[in-house]
């Protein structure tokens, strides 16, 4: 997905890593009231500016809620101390798709703070998962590599099967998938792609930091025939990334956009939402004050119908 400028149709929704070996993360799922934070994005499109400074497309909120979690929107204007406080209260973090500078923007700055907190927490045995979708996955690679290594891998408005790697079959992300469904993933166009940039397989193989940190679970081929990494998970940390959009399979319906809505496409979205939220259940972070918790959640906000001026059906503005 593009990391230069914002285009609602270009991507629909949207540090160097520690090399220390963390304490093994063996916590069982014990938290049945998880809260997943979603990092907002800065409004840059003129038609959206009257509604708020930052936003989250509604599909991401519904996606996380469908897995059994609540959502906390995280603004881009807080202090480091405030982000550190939020980190202790939420049980996971979602980096959504979009189009921002992945090194110099406020979005990148805040993401870097949470990334460092998550690495340190997991190193200490304090389980904390992160998921990146489309640009969010690209952001994870920038945070780990310490530089932007993206290239033109345009796959605009196309649904594709996944070219699974051998590692996919022993991965955490796909551990709940049946053998039959893993085969379906490689045969049916279940993954909606709406991006212009990505990480090529060649670049990944040439970068020691990325190879040490991530395992590639799938690849795909862009319109220019470049092979790009389409699904990743961290080797040690509970960090996951997809270049495609699982949330659109259930919650986006534009007729001119190639959202997969087959039975298997919806099943894929369900499985992944359930997986990530269950990762959040392994986090013991919590709010100490019930009133603060209630006021921090997405329920305090009303989504705006955005169909007249964006590619999203609904958007939360902040």
Catalytic residues: 134, 245
Cβ(22)–Cβ(122) under 8 Å? yes
Distance from C-alpha of 43 to C-alpha of 317, rounded to nearest angstrom: 9
Task: Tell me phi and psi for residue 145, to 5 degrees.
Answer: -75, -25
Cβ(286)–Cβ(31) under 8 Å? yes
Neighbours of 313 (CB within 10 A): 17
Task: Tell me phi and psi for residue 65, to 5 degrees.
Answer: -65, -35
Closest CA to 6 of 55, 69, 72, 66: 55
DSSP classification of residue 226 = -
SS3 of the chain: helix, strand, coil, percent, to 5: 35, 20, 45
Distance from C-alpha of 92 to C-alpha of 233, rounded to nearest angstrom: 15
Cβ(275)–Cβ(94) under 8 Å? no
């Amino acid at each position: 997905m593009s990391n230069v400028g914002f285009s609602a149709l270009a991507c629909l929704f949207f540090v160097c890593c520690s090399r220390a070996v963390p304490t093994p993360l063996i916590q069982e799922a014990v938290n049945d009231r998880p809260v997943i934070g979603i990092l907002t994005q800065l409004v840059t499109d003129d038609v959206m500016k009257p509604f708020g400074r930052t936003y989250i497309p509604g599909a991401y909120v519904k996606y996380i809620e469908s897995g059994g979690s609540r959502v906390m929107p995280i603004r881009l204007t807080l202090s480091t101390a405030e982000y550190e406080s939020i980190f202790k209260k939420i049980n996971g973090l979602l980096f959504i798709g979009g189009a921002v500078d992945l090194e110099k923007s406020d979005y990148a700055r805040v993401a870097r703070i949470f990334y460092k907190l998550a690495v340190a927490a997991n190193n200490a045995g304090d389980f904390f998962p992160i998921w990146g979708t489309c640009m969010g996955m690209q952001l994870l690679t920038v945070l780990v590599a310490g530089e932007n290594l993206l290239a033109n891998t345009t796959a605009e408005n196309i649904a594709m099967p996944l070219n699974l790697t051998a590692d996919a079959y022993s991965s955490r992300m796909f551990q709940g998938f049946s053998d039959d469904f893993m085969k379906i993933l490689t045969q049916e166009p279940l993954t909606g792609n709406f991006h212009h940039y990505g990480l090529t397989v060649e670049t990944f193989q040439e970068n020691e930091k990325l190879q040490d940190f991530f395992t590639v679970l799938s690849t795909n081929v862009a319109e220019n025939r470049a092979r790009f990494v389409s699904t990743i998970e961290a080797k040690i940390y509970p960090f996951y990334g997809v270049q495609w959009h699982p949330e659109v399979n259930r919650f986006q319906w534009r007729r001119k956009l190639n959202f997969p809505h087959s039975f298997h496409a919806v099943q894929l979205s369900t499985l992944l939402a359930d997986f990530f939220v269950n990762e959040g259940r392994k986090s013991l972070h919590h709010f100490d004050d019930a009133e603060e918790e209630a006021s921090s959640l997405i329920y305090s906000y009303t989504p705006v119908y955005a169909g007249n001026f964006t590619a999203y059906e609904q958007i939360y503005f902040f």
